[in-house]
Amino acid sequence: MDNPRQLLVLYGSQTGTAEDTANRIGREAKRHWFDVRVLALDAYPVAQLLKEKVAVIVCATTGQGDPPDNMKIFWRFIMRKNLPVQSLSNLQYAVLGLGDSSYPKFNFVSKKLHKRLEQIGAHALVNVGLADEQHDLGSDAVIDPWISQLWDKILQLFPLPSGKNIIPAEVRLPPRYHVVFLDMMEAIPTKRYEFDATNQTVIKQQRQPDASSPYLASLAANERVTAKDHFQDVRLLTFDIADSGIRYKPGDVAMIHPENVEERVEEFLNHMGLDGSRLFLIQQNDPNVPLPSSLPQPCSIACVVCTYFDFCSVPRRSFFEMLLQFAEDDIEREKLQEFCTPEGQDARFSYCNRVRRTIMEVMQDFLLTSSRVPFEYLFDLIPPLQPRAFSIASSPTVHPGRLQVLMAVVRYQTRLQHPRQGVCSTWLASLRPESGVKIPLWVKSSSITFPDDIITPIIMVGPGTGVAPFRSFIHERAALGVGGNFLFFGCRSQYKDFYCHEEWSALQSQGRLLLFTAFSRDQEEKIYVQDRLRQNGHLIWTLLHDQLGRFYIAGNAKRMPTDVRAAVVEVLQKYGSMMEAEANSYIESLERDHRWQIETWS
């Protein structure tokens, strides 16, 4: 007889946050004596939903209202118009969305999924949760009360078994994996994927490398494109992909799986008291929890710390919940318990998020070493490194066998002693072509698409590294002898961070590009790309309205896209004789026709 206390938790996650939240719900389910499965949406056979009684779905929204990569198959299936109206009438569900209100389509995927499940007969346990990363207290401001409400409802349907109580949070659950240490001294690779000698052969036989089988690319060039005395270090990185089988087009995105830099790895090993050369095997503790595919078997501790543990990330709420289980004195327990309560959200946010304190720094603060935290529990405490996405900046025609990305090296100061550094950008910036290091990468489609025809004029607004996808497209069109390219580029100074200025000059002289620049700090009055749009309003109106052109925006999501849209609304009012509401409706019609596209990041 089937266990009636079964719970299915599914997630669609792009950066790992939704996966972390799903795992948190899964751990709480075990504390409520449920048999729980936690799976990525595309790892779950969606037709089995017909047999499920309760499902919790945690999903993020990517790009401009797109589902994460690991739920796209599920998304296409669940949105099919031919699904029977009452096909999921036996299912009770809850949807929690993780989003960022600085993006135009805030939590679009979770909202649409919630409505779709209702349309095909499923019954909502609670209202859809809409967590917002921009909230003063972060996403937990919504997640915590939503999960509390969810358990109240689930326990009404499935009361605790007779004689059982909820397992307290401070009681340690079995670790995610079982670790078996080996005494053998034979050499094994210390970098991920290299344990499979056939990797590159297999990749060549595949249509395209992907997350499970990335191509191990060589670094062909690492060029700084900002002045040496400029505060920001921006690199144009060139990867050799000649034998990869990778095919890409302008607008596509390169996914790169980073490593922790050697200095941080050594610091972590030393603090935890771990022997990096020690070998181990990972075994399943729970048949519902698959083993990590990116780690070799056997593996060294140095390998897993270098390539798998994201110990330089800012810890999430779940980290402190698990850390509480290893607290030894009353002061530690009191502080951690505060961090794990709704009332302690602001204290936790101040301690971690506001100053970007890392997992390793927290472990140093609490004096956590391997004598207090068994090694196998690090797989529960520390999330895995996630791939980073970069807009491809090269043209497949102009740069055959090469793939280029334009990357700002993340480094900034908070009130903490050491500067904050981006894991991926710091690692990539440190690499030299002669080092022979291999970089795991693959390519995926972006949320923006460029037209194939040679007639449509293209307006591109790409300040800073947002210019990357436009560089790819402009070079590709220029190679085909096509003009009609109008680029609005903004940066601080013509002399400090005017990326690719020699290329733009050459393309202008060839009649392939019309460039409008906004150097915000080269004069007393700050000038931005939206100012240049207003100044060239008649041209914008002519290109959009008379010549049916397309409008693209790429760059930081904070204010720029909103300011650019506001500038175009003013242009439409002035040159199209529209009221403000009409101008906004006009832009919405452009969006529906894919003539207004945005790619932004926070």
User: Over the stretch 14-34, which tens digit does the pLDDT of each residue have?
Assistant: 888 999 999 999 999 999 999
- Judge if 328 and 239 occupy the same domain: no
Residue 195 has pLDDT above 70, yes or no: no
Q: Is 390 annotated as a binding residue?
A: yes
Reported as a pLDDT band with limits 50, 70 and 90, residue 328 is confident
Q: Is 529 annotated as a binding residue?
A: yes
- Judge if 282 and 371 occupy the same domain: yes
- Judge if 227 and 306 occupy the same domain: no
- Judge if 588 and 463 occupy the same domain: yes
Q: Is 463 annotated as a binding residue?
A: no
Q: Is 584 annotated as a binding residue?
A: no
| Residue 207: per-residue pLDDT | 60
Q: Is 358 annotated as a binding residue?
A: no
Q: Is 277 annotated as a binding residue?
A: no
Q: Is 153 annotated as a binding residue?
A: no
- Judge if 409 and 503 occupy the same domain: no
| Residue 554: per-residue pLDDT | 95
Q: Is 356 annotated as a binding residue?
A: yes
Q: Is 15 annotated as a binding residue?
A: yes
At 429, which amino acid appears? A
What number is the average pLDDT over the span 300-324?
A: 94
How many residues make up the chain in this entry? Answer: 602
Within a domain: residue 408? yes
- Judge if 275 and 327 occupy the same domain: yes
- Judge if 145 and 16 occupy the same domain: yes
- Name which of 41, 105, 43 is nearest 79 in CA terms: 41
Cis amide linkage into residue 561, ω under 30° from 0: no
- Name which of 361, 356, 485, 377 is nearest 422 in CA terms: 356
| Residue 198: per-residue pLDDT | 37
Q: Is 95 annotated as a binding residue?
A: no
Within a domain: residue 299? yes
Q: Is 127 annotated as a binding residue?
A: no
Task: Decide: 392 and 194 in contact? Cβ < 8 Å.
Answer: no
Q: Is 341 annotated as a binding residue?
A: no
Q: Is 489 annotated as a binding residue?
A: no
| Residue 190: per-residue pLDDT | 45
The pTM score is 0.88
- By CB neighbour count within 10 A (0-12 exposed, 13-18 middle, 19+ buried), where does 482 fall? middle
Reported as a pLDDT band with limits 50, 70 and 90, residue 184 is low
What number is the average pLDDT over the span 296-313?
A: 96
Q: Is 179 annotated as a binding residue?
A: no
Instruction: Look up the CATH number of the domain holding residue 439.
Output: 2.40.30.10
Within a domain: residue 523? yes
Q: Is 586 annotated as a binding residue?
A: no
What's the number of domains the chain is made of? Answer: 4
What number is the average pLDDT over the span 303-309?
A: 96
- Name which of 164, 588, 234, 240 is nearest 438 in CA terms: 240
- Name which of 471, 499, 468, 466 is nearest 485 in CA terms: 471
Q: Is 424 annotated as a binding residue?
A: yes
| Residue 370: per-residue pLDDT | 87
CB neighbour list of residue 247: distance below 8 Å, 6 or more residues apart: 208, 396, 443
Q: Is 293 annotated as a binding residue?
A: no
Helix axes 560-575, 580-592, angle to 10 degrees: 120
Q: Is 286 annotated as a binding residue?
A: no
Q: Is 142 annotated as a binding residue?
A: no
Q: Is 493 annotated as a binding residue?
A: no
| Residue 2: per-residue pLDDT | 55
- Judge if 374 and 425 occupy the same domain: no
Q: Is 254 annotated as a binding residue?
A: no
Q: Is 102 annotated as a binding residue?
A: yes
Q: Is 99 annotated as a binding residue?
A: yes
Q: Is 193 annotated as a binding residue?
A: no
- Final residue of a structural domain among 123, 157, 191: 157
Q: Is 143 annotated as a binding residue?
A: no
| Burial track 181-202 (b if 16+ CB lie within 10 A, e otherwise) | eeeeeeebebbbbebeeebbee
- Judge if 467 and 409 occupy the same domain: no
Q: Is 469 annotated as a binding residue?
A: no
- The conformation of residue 175, written as its DSSP 8-state character, comes to P
- Judge if 283 and 415 occupy the same domain: no
* % of the chain residues with pLDDT over 70: 95
* % of the chain residues with pLDDT over 90: 73
Instruction: Look up the CATH number of the domain holding residue 42.
Output: 3.40.50.360
| Residue 193: per-residue pLDDT | 47
Task: Decide: 361 and 439 in contact? Cβ < 8 Å.
Answer: no
- The conformation of residue 383, written as its DSSP 8-state character, comes to P
Within a domain: residue 301? yes
Q: Is 540 annotated as a binding residue?
A: no
What number is the average pLDDT over the span 526-533?
A: 96
Q: Is 62 annotated as a binding residue?
A: yes
Reported as a pLDDT band with limits 50, 70 and 90, residue 203 is very low
- Final residue of a structural domain among 117, 139, 157: 157
Q: Is 389 annotated as a binding residue?
A: yes
| Residue 186: per-residue pLDDT | 47
Q: Is 484 annotated as a binding residue?
A: no
CB neighbour list of residue 599: distance below 8 Å, 6 or more residues apart: 63, 64, 391, 446, 447, 448, 466, 469, 552, 553, 554
- Name which of 139, 108, 20, 59 is nearest 386 in CA terms: 20
Reported as a pLDDT band with limits 50, 70 and 90, residue 439 is very high
Within a domain: residue 533? yes
- Range with lowest mean pLDDT among 6-10, 325-329, 371-375, 426-430: 325-329
Local structure of 403: helix, strand or coil: strand
- Judge if 151 and 17 occupy the same domain: yes
Residue 185 has pLDDT above 60, yes or no: no
Helix residue spans in 390-500 (DSSP H):
423-430, 468-479
Within a domain: residue 210? no
Question: Rounded to an integer, what is the distance from CA 400 to the centroid of its chain?
Answer: 28
Reported as a pLDDT band with limits 50, 70 and 90, residue 63 is confident
Instruction: Look up the CATH number of the domain holding residue 593.
Output: 3.40.50.80
Within a domain: residue 170? no
Residue 261 has pLDDT above 60, yes or no: yes
- Final residue of a structural domain among 131, 157, 183: 157
> What does the H/E/C string look like for 76-94?
HHHCCCCCCCCCCCCCEEE
Local structure of 240: helix, strand or coil: strand
Please state, rounded to an integer, the average pLDDT across all residues of the chain.
91
Q: Is 423 annotated as a binding residue?
A: yes
Q: Is 103 annotated as a binding residue?
A: yes
For 572, the domain range is 458-600
Q: Is 58 annotated as a binding residue?
A: no
- Judge if 306 and 414 occupy the same domain: no
Within a domain: residue 191? no
| Residue 197: per-residue pLDDT | 35
| Residue 205: per-residue pLDDT | 41
Q: Is 601 annotated as a binding residue?
A: yes
Task: Decide: 248 and 392 in contact? Cβ < 8 Å.
Answer: yes
